[in-house]
Copies of this chain bind each other. A is one copy, B any other.
């Protein structure tokens, strides 16, 4: 019988639901050394919170996150709040010796991110960041193929995360305010794109060659009113970059790519082969093996759902597709594994790791502002 892992969750919106589901489902589909126990749900709206806690099976709820630090029954604090509300609770919990799992991006500002990284260094608690796409079976398989050298020297990375929900009709929210979100599509989507590229290549970006940030929709209606408020975050950020090994990369994040609802895409070209993935067909990995004879070489559509052959795929039989939520369930399972003394199948991002992604995002912002190339080493 695995020992329980008592968890407190901060945040009861979209990510609160995704995380709650993950903690509930992880032990049903995975054999784990510790058993997640849904101890406390924490949110600001008490009425809403109670229904939320009941629905998702949280034992109790509170509107004051500060009390979690002193709660001896809480081992892991899971933070799913807007970006500007990551640093304070994360640092407090780390100082109290808790483990912390935090939504991405690590923070809305470089200062917050740096402080979080430093708090993690000082704490005996472990940290985790919900870069959930690493645990799509197809993505984890790509990681395995790259680690096995199947692509040889890497020449190209082409990463983009395209959404289209941010048109002029979309009302104001915390996501469109710099103060609460730090940035727009950049921190929301390029964070995933940069994490995915760094994760898959296993090396760091060294330079941003040039970036452009654009706010197409400058004002948005405030919900429940007739007034408009200024949106001061980017709708889209594009940039080119280089990795240490010399591979060149392009990154793009946008909320205005009409027709692309959730196209988190990456393609990697190496001297021996290529890989391509798109979240909109998340169960598939496309692999081109240039060592195949020319007669039969071709992009292989790998249905990465074989439990005996593909990582994070042992939920259902072959090609009985997995969905978005399984990426969180598998990450929750891996967090349990790590806290139970085991190793995850593929690396779990911690605050130090997420800090590296934050530096690249910051370099891109500076490049756009200064109209020049920016070396990552200059971002500290």
Name A's B-contacting residues (CB within 8 A): 14, 18, 21, 24-25, 27-28, 55-56, 141, 144-145, 151, 155-156, 158, 160, 162, 164-165, 167-168, 208-212, 214, 216, 235-236, 238-242, 246, 248, 250, 252, 254, 256-263, 269-274, 276, 279-282, 285-290, 292-303, 305-306, 308-310, 315-326, 367-368, 371-373
Contacts and interface: CB of A to CB of B under 8 A. Distances in A.
A162 B269 CA distance: 10
B321 A282 contact: yes
A217 to B, nearest CB: 9
Contact of A55 (B28, B308, B309, B371): B28
Copies of this chain, complex-wide, total 4
Contact of A288 (B259, B262, B276, B299): B259
A290 to B, nearest CB: 5
User: For A21, A56, A248, A308, which residue has the most chain B Cβ atoms within 10 angstroms?
Assistant: A248
Contacts of A242: 212, 214
B300 A296 contact: yes
Given A28-B55, A262-B320, A316-B325, 16 more contacts: A151-B258, A155-B258, A156-B236, A158-B252, A168-B271, A210-B212, A210-B240, A238-B248, A250-B252, A257-B274, A262-B321, A287-B298, A299-B300, A300-B300, A323-B323, A371-B372
